[in-house]
Amino acid sequence: MQRSNEYGHDEKVQGGCGLFGIINVKRKLVPGSVIIDAISVLHDRGNGLGGGFAAYGIYPEYKDYYAFHVMYENKEAIAPTEAYLAQFFNVTYHEQIPTRVTKAIQAHPLFYRYFVQPKEEAKALLPNKDENDFVVGKVMYINENITDAFVVSSGKNMGAFKGVGYPEEIAEFFKLEGYKACSWTAHNRFPTNTKGWWGGAHPFTLLDWAIVHNGEISSYGINKRFLEMYGYKLTMLTDTEVITYLFDLLVRRFGFDFRTAALVLASPFWKNIDAMPGEERKVLTALRMLYGSALLNGPFAVILSHNRGFVGLSDRIKLRPMVAAQVGDYYYLSSEESAIRKINPSLDRVWFPKAGEPVIIDFEQE
């Protein structure tokens, strides 16, 4: 689905992007000011065409409800969207997301949030009665069929905040200094193949998955066709959407752990697989044969955040940078070590993940 670009620039710029993630594994809440300080160090990796954040643990009073952040490009889109939500969900509470007038952002869409639970009678119409599949279907319907409405995020106890601007400007617009989260990711964007518009900024989300991405996926076409076989609607025309949905398919629907999913998405080259010991070679060969259409080609570094933790992954040659660090209960992923040291100069450990090697950080059990 083609999207208008009333709020930003039209230039296509090839470039870098900046990623940052912070997580406290004991679920201690981190103020929004911390992630804002960190991503500001990566300012020159963007050009004002996109910035965004994903935050987890921000809605404890509604933690059992799906938190729909919805962007409206005009007021006329509100009524049909709310009528559609009321048809399939019990809406416990909704409001306009607080924003402020800023010097950098003069024109912008409207943003609302809705805390919802699927209606049992509506969910019962699904053959497998899977609640997450039900929510995914409704999110994709809104994004594909309701003009000028777009679901920015739809997970429990989390939300995405994004738009056209540098991330510091987006944070100011959404008043993110007033939020506290146990996990944050942030993105500073150079749009590569799509225009800079509010819905096209990162993170890209589905349920509680949120992806921030640096790079370009040249396998977009085959990845898209693979996902469409499983009912995914790809309306954003961007490779980051593909990565988000592939994680959803492999981990949530197929039941893969994150390490196995990484072996599918950033599979070793055939020559390396052929040189592996017997059992390992058999497993990698089977994954590559069965799920070759899910392989991500091209340069990329991604941070996937979710309600159980987060995952960092770079391509199998590591053409985009990623550094990891840890101090006590805090873990960090970033495009540059300087951003980590801006907020925590004294680190217990710093490492540079190998190509295709996932960094998997889980919250401790409550």
Q: Would the pLDDT of 2 be above 50?
A: no
Q: How far apart are CA 217 and CA 221, in angstroms?
A: 9
Cβ 199 vs Cβ 142: under 8 Å: no
Q: What is the pLDDT of residues 35-45, one digit of tens each?
A: 999 999 999 89
User: Could you tell me if residue 2 is inside a domain?
Assistant: no
Q: How far apart are CA 58 and CA 177, in angstroms?
A: 12
Out of 47-51, 79-83, 311-315, pick the least confident: 47-51
User: Could you tell me if residue 178 is inside a domain?
Assistant: yes
Is beta strand 180-181 parallel, antiparallel or unpaired with respect to 309-314? unpaired
Cβ 73 vs Cβ 163: under 8 Å: no
User: Could you tell me if residue 12 is inside a domain?
Assistant: no
pLDDT score recorded for residue 96:
98
Average pLDDT in the chain: 91
User: Could you tell me if residue 7 is inside a domain?
Assistant: no
Give the domain extent around 56.
18-362
User: Could you tell me if residue 332 is inside a domain?
Assistant: yes
Cβ 183 vs Cβ 34: under 8 Å: no
Task: Place 191 in a pLDDT band, splitting at 50, 70 and 90.
Answer: low
Burial class (CB in 10 A: 0-12, 13-18, 19+), 15: middle
User: Could you tell me if residue 148 is inside a domain?
Assistant: yes
Q: How many domains does the chain have?
A: 1
Q: What percent of the chain has pLDDT over 90?
A: 82
pLDDT score recorded for residue 13:
41
pLDDT score recorded for residue 263:
96
> What's phi and psi for 288, nearest 5 deg?
-65, -40
Residue with tokens 């905040």: 161
- What's the 3-state SS for the chain? CCCCCCCCCCCCCCCCCEEEEEEECCCCCEEHHHHHHHHHCCHHHCCCCCEEEEEECCCHHHCCCEEEEEEECCHHHHHHHHHHHHHHEEEEEEEECCCCCCCCCCCCCEEEEEEEEECHHHHCCCCCCCHHHHHHHHHHHHHHHCCCEEEEECCECEEEEEECCCHHHHHHHCCHHHCEECEEEEEECCCCCCCCCHHHCCCEEECCEEEEEEECCCCHHHHHHHHHCCCCCCCCCCHHHHHHHHHHHHHHHCCCCHHHHHHHHCCCCHHHHHCCCHHHHHHHHHHHHHHHHHCCCCCEEEEEEECCEEEEEECCCCCCCCEEEEECCEEEEECCHHHHHHHCCCCCEEECCCCCCCEEEECCCC
Out of 27-41, 236-250, 253-267, 335-349, pick the least confident: 236-250
Bond prior to 109 in cis (omega within 30° of 0) = no
Active site residue 17: yes
- Give Cβ neighbours of residue 285 (< 8 Å, ≥ 6 apart): 273
User: How far is C-alpha 137 from the chain's CA centre?
Assistant: 18
Q: What's the CATH code of the domain at 212? A: 3.60.20.10
**What is the pTM (predicted TM-score) of this model?**
0.92
For the beta carbon of residue 91, count every other beta carbon within 10 angstroms: 14
Q: How far apart are CA 100 and CA 307, in angstroms?
A: 28
For the beta carbon of residue 360, count every other beta carbon within 10 angstroms: 16
Out of 34-43, 127-136, 157-166, 225-234, pick the least confident: 127-136
User: Could you tell me if residue 288 is inside a domain?
Assistant: yes
Active-site residue, selected from the candidate residues 17, 242, 264, 340 = 17
| Torsion angle defined by CA atoms of residues 302, 303, 304 and 310, in that order, rounded to the nearest 10 degrees | 150
User: Could you tell me if residue 81 is inside a domain?
Assistant: yes
Q: What is the pLDDT of residues 221-238, one digit of tens each?
A: 999 999 999 999 888 777
